[in-house]
Each structure stands twice: as structure tokens, then as C-alpha cells.
Amino acid sequence: MGIPRATQLRVLSIIDELKAAERRAVDLLIAKPEDIPHLTIGEYARRAGCSEATVVRLSKHLGYEGYPQLKQAFSEESDTDGVGDFASIDRDDDSSAVIRKVTESAISGLRDTLEVIDIGQFDRAVDAIVAADKLVFCGLGDGYPVAIEACQRFDRVGQPAWAPIDADQQLILATHLGSGNVLVAISHSGRSTTILDAMDAARRSGAAIVAITNYPGSPIGKNADMVLQTAVFTTDWSGEIVSKRIAQLAVVESLFARFMIRRGSETVDALRDINSIVRIHKRYP
């Protein structure tokens, strides 16, 4: 018996943010998952060298109501395959192996994101976006294509949206957002300082902040009003993988789809009209 997959994902997303006592508690969970169903909370705390309150706090950080629910999850049959356990790309891989590994990475990231995303937070984000007059999407580096893709989606239906690539422009637009509007911060690590600066400016203006990040305990995650978590933990030789952006794009597409449903037939008609207009650029000579 191993660690339930959903719990593995949550551990990976918070482990770097844990204090020493919680880290000892999670180390026991990782080292002896088969023992968890048989330990009282007191026994767990003694073996981990922490307090019972720490065990309860860790249980809640991992998405459970408390320690009894964590024990129950470990006692049930579950998918315990390793997270991102396929091999990384190496110099001896042929084309078939490279394509397979890259594709498996994308599939794993999408599946695992579906496991961890909080639907309550997602619905709150949709509520804020539907009510907003203006949207600003902020992404840095290879997160910027996700931001511009999101912006173009909403532009198509006449929803004012911006995705500035320049850090100064991000600050300017965030400052002018105002109450009732939304800034969407897109950062895999949750540590991009320029995006944090834009978030601070948006908050001072009264805007709501939605974060799309792999690490809800990161500075960006902690400073957002709503956190939409992705779950992509595999790496390759470059330290960067496209699957983290694919997971972010899936979250953005889901937000847009719910926005369209909530806005109703007029917005659907507007999208249909725009799609018809832009076909002019798809004509053959």
C-alpha cells in the first residue's frame, strides 16, 4: 500500500513551504505509508517528533478535514502510481521515445491537475470574471503565451482584456483596474516578482486576484484571492517542460467555457460572429 495519488500531488505542491515540524510529519507519511491506517494521532505525532496539532494541520494542508480522514484515505485501495514516474529525456532516446515521453508528461500534468484543482475556488474565479468589466492577464517568460491566449479568448467576445508583456505596462494596467475587475496571475513557480508587483498594484486598486500556479503556498498563491492549482511536477534536461503550460491552458480554457455558459446566448452569438469575420484570413489565394 502506498500514498494515494491525490495526496502525493498535494505533498509535492506544499513540501517546500512546510515548517520543520510539518516536514517531519510529512517525512513519516512518505517513508511509512503502510503504517498510517494503524496509527492513532498520538502515535503518529510521537513517531514523527511533532505535536498532534501539527498532524491535524498537515492533514488539512493535504485536503482532508482532519487526521481520521487522512487515515481513511490511506486504508482504501487507490491509484498509487508515482507522480510523473516516466523517465526523463536523455541523449540516447530516439525520436519515438522523445515523443512518447513528452506526450506522457502532458497527459500526466492534465490528469493530475484535474485531481487537485479546487472547484469551489474555480467557481469563485468564474463569478469574479463574469462580473468584471476589465481583465488583465499577467504571465512572465514562457508563461506569457498562456496570458496572451487567455486575453485573445475574451477579446473575441468583446470582454475588455489585456495581456501586457512589459513589466511596467503590467503595473500600469493593474493600477487602473479598479474595484470589481480581475487580474489573473499565471506563474508555475508562484515566485515571479514582477507578477507579484502587479498583484500588489491590482489589490490596491480594489481588483480581485486569481492565481494559476503549481504551488498554492508560494508568494503568488498566498497573495491571491482565488488559487487555481495545476499539478505538473516532472522535469527534463532543460528544467522546463511544455506540460506545465498545457495544464495552465486547460485551466484558462475551462474558465472561458464557464464564462460563456454564464453569459448566455448573446455571448455565444458574439463569438460565432467574430469567428465568421476572422475566416477572411483563412481564404485560399
Please give the model's pTM, rounded to 2 decimal places: 0.81
Tell me, yes or no, whether 196 lies in a domain: yes
Mark which of 47, 75, 103 sits at the end of a domain.
Answer: 75
Tell me, yes or no, whether 237 lies in a domain: yes
pLDDT confidence band for 86 (50 / 70 / 90): very low
Tell me, yes or no, whether 83 lies in a domain: no
**147 vs 235, more confident:** 147
Provide the pLDDT for residue 28: 92
- CA nearest neighbour of 252 among 108, 134, 120, 117: 117
Domain limits for position 199: 115-280
Tell me, yes or no, whether 123 lies in a domain: yes
CATH number at residue 20: 1.10.10.10
pLDDT in tens, 128-176: 999 999 999 999 988 999 999 999 999 989 899 999 999 999 999 999 9
Tell me, yes or no, whether 98 lies in a domain: no
pLDDT in tens, 96-129: 988 888 888 888 889 999 989 999 999 999 999 9
Find residue 212's DSSP bridge partners.
186, 228
CA pair distance 283, 222, nearest whole angstrom: 48
